[in-house]
Amino acid sequence: MKYPSNIALVDCNNFYVSCERLFRPDLLNKPVAVLSNNDGCIVSRSQEVKDLGIKMAVPVHQVKQLVKQHNIQLFSSNYPLYADLSARIMHSLTAFSPSVDVYSIDEAFIDLDRHNVNVTDLGLDIKNSLSRWVGIPVGIGIGSTKTLAKLANYAAKKWANSGGVVDINEPKRRKKIMQITPVGEVWGVGRRLNEKLNKLGIETIWDLQSQPISSIKKHFNITLAQTVQELQGTPVIPFNEDKKSKQQIVCSRSFKEKITDQQELEQVLSVFCLKAAEKLRAQHGVALQVSVFVRTSPFDKESFYSEKATYKLKSGTQDSRDLIKIAKKLLTRIFILGYQYQQAGIILGDIQLIDTAVSNQNDMFDADSEQNEKSFALMKTIDEINSRFNNSMSFASTGNKTLQQSIPINKSRPYTTNWKEIALVK
């Protein structure tokens, strides 16, 4: 497998906040935060909010005083807007390289080997072009492996004098950055692994990359060993690797108002089933396992209740009707009258691609084959209608429930996805 010798990681700065500011320039240099589903937690922070000491994923009710004191502008998540701007950024990157490896909604690796120019200058060109074309600020890290590019990107955002672009290929610069950067900043090193490494005296990235691969394999696992190899300049993580389909799909919410009625919970779970089934069909999969869980508030310690039920199917399904039926049966098993439920969810597991699932059948021309074809065709038609007409079709089992369980605090307009909402220039 061929690996590029110059990989750039392009990472959008405070992406959700930057999307909101794009159409609200009056919010530049002011504290802004974007909230999670149901406006529960802070999931994106401007630098001004970070400087106030507000952590990622903190429940918004815990920082109400700071929000009021510093007039922090809060926005409900506007995922259609974020997805559209993300698509524009990823498409823009193809102007600089045909090899774009999209890592997440706000990050992508690109192959710079096709350019016979200084890579730092090229990085600055990419950064300035994205600012002009899309209006979203980015940081760019350049290295010989994906892990080194991630580290360079961290440096580009951490130190303002870098100009937002850092090339870590130069040995002295790479060593200096590694020696002053905590090992917890390494791509893939979480809190627990960070603590374990610290106990062994491995506190900086330089300490980690100096370890023998054999020692890392012995005391940790192959994944960390591969990380060390990448830090040492040996590429291990493939570029433009085919993205694997999700092996599990979860759809759940915490409710603004607690639910005590089983029928109401059934309606909520039906909505979750529809959303999970859409994601399942989008990756051309079928689920062989369905789970339902419910729980009360963890703060109600005297009457806390949490339970989960699972059903395994003989053959996979992606049909929303099947999933709703199963979910209702599972809820009947675990629902107890008298509790005030604050959260519920559906989990689709043991997911297989449709082709794989069909090949695993003993007889693909069995009596259920025609029924399956009709099911696939119906679900495809429903998805196409909902995509074109803004989720206009649903099932009676959902009642009047929708996926959004609370009124958004301050949701911005769909500036780029609805002609009626396009921004006006005066």
Whether 175 and 297 share a structural domain: no
Whether 364 and 386 share a structural domain: yes
pLDDT digits (tens, 9 = 90+) for 42-63: 999 999 999 999 999 899 989 9
pLDDT digits (tens, 9 = 90+) for 147-166: 999 999 999 999 888 899 99
Domain boundary among 182, 209, 242: 242
Domain boundary among 214, 242, 270: 242
Is 403 part of any domain?
A: no
Domains of the chain: total: 3
Question: With pLDDT > 90 as the criterion, what percentage of the chain qualifies?
Answer: 61
Range of the domain at 38: 8-150
The CATH number covering residue 37 comes to 3.30.70.270
The CATH number covering residue 348 comes to 3.30.1490.100
pLDDT digits (tens, 9 = 90+) for 170-208: 999 999 999 999 999 999 898 899 999 999 999 999 999
Confidence band for 363, pLDDT divided at 50, 70 and 90: very low
Whether 300 and 385 share a structural domain: yes
Pairing of strands 306-317, 341-353: unpaired
Whether 253 and 324 share a structural domain: yes
Is 199 part of any domain?
A: yes
Span 219-246, average pLDDT: 83
Confidence band for 402, pLDDT divided at 50, 70 and 90: low
Whether 128 and 102 share a structural domain: yes
Span 325-341, average pLDDT: 95
Whether 192 and 304 share a structural domain: no
Query: Under a CB-based contact definition with an 8 Å cutoff, are residues 304 and 274 in contact?
Result: no
pLDDT on residue 347: 95
Is 87 part of any domain?
A: yes
Whether 232 and 253 share a structural domain: no
The answer on pLDDT for 112 being more than 60 is yes
pLDDT digits (tens, 9 = 90+) for 22-31: 999 999 999 9
Domain boundary among 242, 273, 303: 242
pLDDT on residue 359: 47
Question: With pLDDT > 70 as the criterion, what percentage of the chain qualifies?
Answer: 91
The answer on pLDDT for 213 being more than 80 is yes
Is 407 part of any domain?
A: no
The answer on pLDDT for 403 being more than 90 is no
Is 426 part of any domain?
A: no
Confidence band for 108, pLDDT divided at 50, 70 and 90: very high
Whether 108 and 25 share a structural domain: yes
Whether 43 and 77 share a structural domain: yes
The answer on pLDDT for 367 being more than 90 is no
Mean per-residue pLDDT over the chain, rounded:
88
pLDDT on residue 375: 84
Q: Any idea which of 19-33, 300-314, 405-419 has the lowest mean pLDDT?
A: 405-419
Identify which of 270-284, 293-307, 320-334, 375-389 has the greatest average pLDDT: 320-334
**Euclidean distance between CA atoms 287 and 348, whole angstroms:** 6
Whether 262 and 374 share a structural domain: yes
Whether 368 and 270 share a structural domain: yes
Identify which of 169-178, 363-372, 406-415 has the greatest average pLDDT: 169-178
pLDDT on residue 365: 38
Whether 130 and 202 share a structural domain: no
The answer on pLDDT for 400 being more than 80 is no
Buried b (16+ CB within 10 A) or exposed e, 159-186: eeebebbbbbbeeeebeebbeebebbeb
Is 157 part of any domain?
A: no
Nearest to residue 290, comparing CAs of 238, 337, 251?
251
Confidence band for 114, pLDDT divided at 50, 70 and 90: confident
The CATH number covering residue 238 comes to 1.10.150.20
Is 163 part of any domain?
A: no
Is 408 part of any domain?
A: no
